[in-house]
Amino acid sequence: MARTRNSPPPMKSNPDRWLLSYADFITLLFALFVVLFAASQSDKSRIAAIGTSYMQAIRKGASYTAPPVVSKVLGGTLDDVGVGNAMMKGPGGVVRAPRETERPVPAELLPAFQPLTRDLAREIADGRLQLHMDARGLVISFAQTALFGSGDDQVQSESVPIFGRIAKVLASIPNDVLVEGHTDPVPINNSKFHSNWELSAARSIAVMNLLIHRFGIPARRVAITGYADNKAVEGNDSEAGRSRNRRVDLVIQNVSLDVSERLAAEATGGPTVR
């Protein structure tokens, strides 16, 4: 049939039009893989912490206070330097870098962190011990005066019940425990100990024996170390600093660390007794 004067010319087919649909498909596929990758990189320990905190909040209601690791994720002021303060991330605010000593509590240690924080609250408030995370795991750091007399390795009787509460938590988790003895650099030379090495190791052994023989923690789970004055946490030029360095650290180890990370966390000098 002849084309009329005003009718449009017939459209020519383009053999390359399929490339447009193919490009759209590839773009969508790329976006899908980006989303899947981002989801796989989420911090699983923090998700677990938030889930645990949510269940605790449901049970306890208004009386519940979220642990620091959850508060840091959700926002709100944790301390006087603004760590975890979500408002500081708004327009014009300053995002502070986390302090080097701050570490989130791994999900595997939450079953220990939460009850220990509750059960040892009085001793923490009194300054007899501290509870914190570091590269090795969850650390219960006892001041020397909370456990031992000067130059002695016998655990004071009034401190024994503290280990009963700790042992109850240890019995509920599979993590190994490392007991570390530390002293200040002031030389010791009495009838029982001829060096701070001996004193620090003896105090570790005393705590180990208490956990194993008094409270039934399996011996295969406990190791001891004596560091003398080689792992100071404060300067030794004042009595307050030396007092802080005289301590026994009970470390609930983070089993998610691989062997190289565990050795790096522990290998900062000093003989080890295992």
Q: Is the pTM of this model over 0.85?
A: no
Q: Which CATH number fits domain 105-273: 3.40.50.300, 3.30.1330.60, 3.30.390.30, 3.40.50.1110?
A: 3.30.1330.60
* Cα-based angle 111, 117, 121 (whole degrees, multiple of 5): 155
Could you tell me which residue, 12 or 192, shows the higher pLDDT?
192
Contact 143, 246 (CB under 8 A): yes
- Ranked by mean pLDDT, the top range of 1-15, 77-91, 225-239 is 225-239
What are 209-237's pLDDT values in tens digits?
A: 999 999 999 999 999 999 999 999 999 99
Tens-place pLDDT, residues 161-194 = 999 999 999 999 999 999 999 999 999 888 899 9
What is the average per-residue pLDDT within 27-53? Answer: 68
Average pLDDT over residues 145-158: 93
Residue 96 has pLDDT above 70, yes or no: no
For residue 83, the tally of other CB atoms under 10 A from its CB is 17
- pLDDT number for residue 34: 73
Half-sphere exposure of 51 (CA within 13 A, CB side): 8
CB atoms near residue 115 (< 10 Å): 15
Burial of 92: CB neighbours in 10 Å, binned 0-12, 13-18, 19+: exposed
Tokens of 5: 């004067």
Rounded Cα distance between 29 and 27, Å, is: 5
Band (125; pLDDT cuts 50, 70, 90): very high
pLDDT tens, position by position, 138-149: 999 999 999 999
Q: Is the confidence at residue 114, as pLDDT, over 60?
A: yes
pLDDT at 99 over 60: no
**pLDDT averaged over every residue in the chain:** 76
For residue 52, pLDDT beyond 60: yes
Least confident of 28-37, 83-92, 110-119, 153-162: 83-92
Domain boundary assignment for the chain: 20-101, 105-273
